[in-house]
Amino acid sequence: MQPEPIRRRPDHNISMWGAPSSGKTTLLAALFIALTKRNDDWKIVGSDPASSDYLVEKTNALSRGKVFPEASTDLERYHWTLIGPAPQKTGPWSRKAKPGPPARIGLSMIDAPGGLFAPAGPDNLRREELLDDLERSRGIVFLFDPIREFTFGDAFDHMHAPLSRLAERMLASGEFADGKLPHHIAVCVTKFDDPRVLETADKRRLLTVDLDDPYQMPRVASENVRELFHELCQVSASGNADMVLNALDQFFHPDRIRFFATSSIGFYVDQRARRFDWDDFQNLVPGEAGEGSRIRGRLHPINVVEPMLWLGQRLAAIRPSTEIS
């Protein structure tokens, strides 16, 4: 019998990318929680001890402490693996055939306190590592934080340098032949639970309710999130946010971009009423003096798992490989 390979490389790699405080760490912790609540057997596992500890610590802060994970003070690079359900044997003829191994998707993130590409940004090494991760990945989870955009208006600044450097690297390696990057990109408009974001979506009549959702929480269907993004750009502090949308269109194939209206914490739902209430939906409460914001009730992550699984499915369809090292 063939010995089982001890370590199997992920089939595909995804990188998380977003400006500082766009919600990367919270999204990751919410991903763990959201996966645990589902019953389809997808899970996330650290690929090294530091990444496992990071995940446990941030998830505990969010679920038990009801606080947002503390902002990072160190620049660190982390790696996890999303592991899919074990494939089922199908059909009577497959009695002897062993089902293949479950899908594995590598997920990497660089947690940077002040932004990697800020003018007075930290060391070059980490910038290059972010680029290494992006270059190796064929999937990107890109976080666009509308709240930060209202206040600082710097989403384009944070996007511009890594995107240019990535394009330069792909061009050099001959993977820019058709004038677009080869990546799929899940663009997550974060903090959808924030009243300013929800109300913008409501004013544009972009909200729908999923009939299967017992809480009847409002959502924006993926095909309408681009319009929400565009609308949110109009109130950007710098007026540059539309350039983010233009840059996405310039650099990525139109059929490889998908938008998601994401909230890691979701809306507050009263435990007795068990229904979304337009008069009382905020799950984020400002902290006491000197403290950060807190989370009021249960977490109801929205569109946290979906971007990852969409990327996983799309990548699997292009390159159904199971590399074994």
Ligand X SMILES: Nc1nc2c(ncn2[C@@H]2O[C@H](COP(=O)(O)OP(=O)(O)O)[C@@H](O)[C@H]2O)c(=O)[nH]1
The entry of Mg ion, ligand X, none that residue 80 binds, CB within 5 to 8 Å by partner kind = none
Virtual torsion, Cα 164, 168, 171, 173, nearest 10 deg? -130
Minimum CB separation of residue 111 from Mg ion in Å reads 4
Q: Identify which of residues 18 and 307 has a Cβ nearer to ligand X in the complex.
A: 18
CB 181 within 8 A of CB 251: yes
CB 295 within 8 A of CB 283: yes
- Please give the Cα distance from 208 to 187 (Å, whole number): 19
Q: Identify which of residues 83 and 137 has a Cβ nearer to ligand X in the complex.
A: 137
Q: Identify which of residues 113 and 297 has a Cβ nearer to Mg ion in the complex.
A: 113
Minimum CB separation of residue 149 from ligand X in Å reads 13
Minimum CB separation of residue 189 from Mg ion in Å reads 18
Stretch binding Mg ion (CB under 5 A), from 10-18, 83-91, 105-113, 292-300: 105-113
The entry of ligand X, Mg ion, none that residue 263 binds, CB within 5 to 8 Å by partner kind = ligand X
The entry of ligand X, Mg ion, none that residue 194 binds, CB within 5 to 8 Å by partner kind = ligand X
Minimum CB separation of residue 4 from Mg ion in Å reads 36
25 binds Mg ion (CB under 5 A): yes
Which sign, positive or negative, has the C-alpha torsion 305, 310, 312, 313? positive
Minimum CB separation of residue 191 from ligand X in Å reads 4
Minimum CB separation of residue 29 from Mg ion in Å reads 10
- Please give the Cα distance from 151 to 192 (Å, whole number): 16
Which sign, positive or negative, has the C-alpha torsion 196, 292, 126, 314? negative
Residue 164 backbone phi and psi in degrees, to 5: -65, -40
**How far from chain centre, in Å, is Cα 49?**
22
What is the token pair recorded at 287? 């902290």
Q: Identify which of residues 115 and 146 has a Cβ nearer to Mg ion in the complex.
A: 115
The entry of Mg ion, ligand X, none that residue 268 binds, CB within 5 to 8 Å by partner kind = none
Minimum CB separation of residue 271 from ligand X in Å reads 20
200 binds Mg ion (CB under 5 A): no
- Please give the Cα distance from 234 to 229 (Å, whole number): 9
Task: Give Cβ neighbours of residue 199 (< 8 Å, ≥ 6 apart).
Answer: none
Q: Identify which of residues 140 and 228 has a Cβ nearer to Mg ion in the complex.
A: 140
Choose which of 47, 72, 222, 282 interacts with Mg ion (CB under 5 A): 72
Helix axis angle for 241-251 and 222-233, nearest 10°, is 140
Binding site for ligand X (CB under 6 A): 18, 20-26, 68-69, 71, 111, 191, 193-194, 263-265, 284, 292-293
Helix, strand and coil content of the chain, in percent to the nearest 5, comes to: 35, 20, 45
Q: Which residues bind Mg ion (CB under 5 A)?
A: 25, 72, 111
